Amino acid sequence: MKLEEYRGVWTLGEQRDGRIHTVSYELLAWGRSLADKLGVELATVILGHNLADQVQELIYRGADKVYVVDHPALAHFSVDPYARVLTALVREYRPEIFIASATTTGRTIMPVLAAKLRTGLTADCTGLDVDVESRQLLQTRPAIGGNVMATIITPNHRPAMATVRPKSRRPLPRDASRKGEIIFKRFDEKMFESRTRRLGFIRDETAESPVQDADVVVAGGKGLKDGRNFDMLFELAELLGGAVGASRMAVDMGWIPYSHQIGLSGKTVTPRLYLAIGISGAVQHLAGMSSSEVIVAINKDPDANIFKVSDFGIIGDLFEIVPLLIKRLREIKGKEGEGK
């Protein structure tokens, strides 16, 4: 394998029920920074059916090129045709990096693809970067039971492949002036055959939590001392139009359901504002929230690790500070209400 024959960064676009999924745009944000550092093109590949009127959006969100494969057999994710088509595309165009989201689709198809292409794959990364000189993809993820963050490279094989956690990056702002190329690829009917047949789809409602889509997350930890004290976080979240998150400690204490847990073994979030209240900032917690746009921490310990990642730190007793915040926000809301 001649590594220099592989050039460019690829992302795997995803669609659900014929609509492009937002993870595709998050991945383009990752891909864009890698491609710009390497000085190469960023392409995204998307498989589905009747997507033609939507694929331009991928260019607006950062892609230079979009490869589209449109066929009824690709309308819903199916391993056999997806693996065949993606393998053929990678063999033809030879990207040096190929990343996907660590969704069910990404986690299923990327290992198959990596095995077919005889290359390496790092699953479930929380961070991606490149070493420009060696052109290595630096794939960071928690390792050894989450106790260290390991950076993994794929020194001898291409493409370097990785899946990255959904919500680990915000999509780039939509830029309708961006120009790019859309290429519709056709394949022989045999490529679309499958050993499986989709009978239906049943959504797992219990896995859903509004915390992942919220613009503001108010998260509480062991410093809250009692489950009932989460009530004030729910009130604060409501005043800010956000959702409530929690550290694993708070979940393990039975103070709040697991669906609210943020971190390595919980959800990854990238809200505009993350409030960490009575949370120490263990590496496993940071893995799920450190890409938030603005982080505000409230902690009585000035040396708490959470202050290392926070933009604003309030050193003090949360039982004094949170009620003050609630009071002030209520006043502001009241004034807004009067003004109407």
Residues in contact with ligand FAD by the rule CB under 6 A: 145-146, 221-223, 247-250, 261-266, 278-280, 282, 284-285, 288, 298-301, 304, 317-319
Nearest to 158 by CA among 112, 205, 90: 90
Closest CB to ligand FAD among 103 and 261? 261
Provide the minimum distance between the beta carbon of 315 and ligand FAD in the complex, in angstroms, as a whole number: 9
Provide the minimum distance between the beta carbon of 287 and ligand FAD in the complex, in angstroms, as a whole number: 7
Provide the minimum distance between the beta carbon of 131 and ligand FAD in the complex, in angstroms, as a whole number: 28
Provide the minimum distance between the beta carbon of 322 and ligand FAD in the complex, in angstroms, as a whole number: 9
Report which DSSP code applies to 264.
T
Residues 6+ apart with CB under 8 A from 127: 140, 141, 149, 168
State how beta strands 148-152 and 65-70 pair: unpaired
Closest CB to ligand FAD among 46 and 269? 269
Q: Tell me the one-letter amino acid at 216.
A: V
- Written as six digits, the tokens of 34 are 């890698």
Closest CB to ligand FAD among 121 and 298? 298
- Written as six digits, the tokens of 297 are 């921490």
Closest CB to ligand FAD among 43 and 125? 125
Rounded Cα–Cα distance for residues 230 and 211 (Å): 15
Confirm if 27 and 124 have CB atoms less than 8 A apart. Answer: no
Alpha helices by DSSP H, the chain: 23-38, 56-60, 79-93, 104-117, 230-240, 248-252, 283-286, 306-309, 318-339
Provide the minimum distance between the beta carbon of 261 and ligand FAD in the complex, in angstroms, as a whole number: 6
The three-point CA angle 158-161-166 to 5° equals 165
Confirm if 54 and 44 have CB atoms less than 8 A apart. Answer: no
Q: Tell me the one-letter amino acid at 90.
A: V
Closest CB to ligand FAD among 28 and 304? 304
Rounded Cα–Cα distance for residues 217 and 233 (Å): 10
Closest CB to ligand FAD among 252 and 331? 252
Report which DSSP code applies to 72.
G
Provide the minimum distance between the beta carbon of 253 and ligand FAD in the complex, in angstroms, as a whole number: 9
Closest CB to ligand FAD among 79 and 315? 315
Provide the minimum distance between the beta carbon of 159 and ligand FAD in the complex, in angstroms, as a whole number: 29
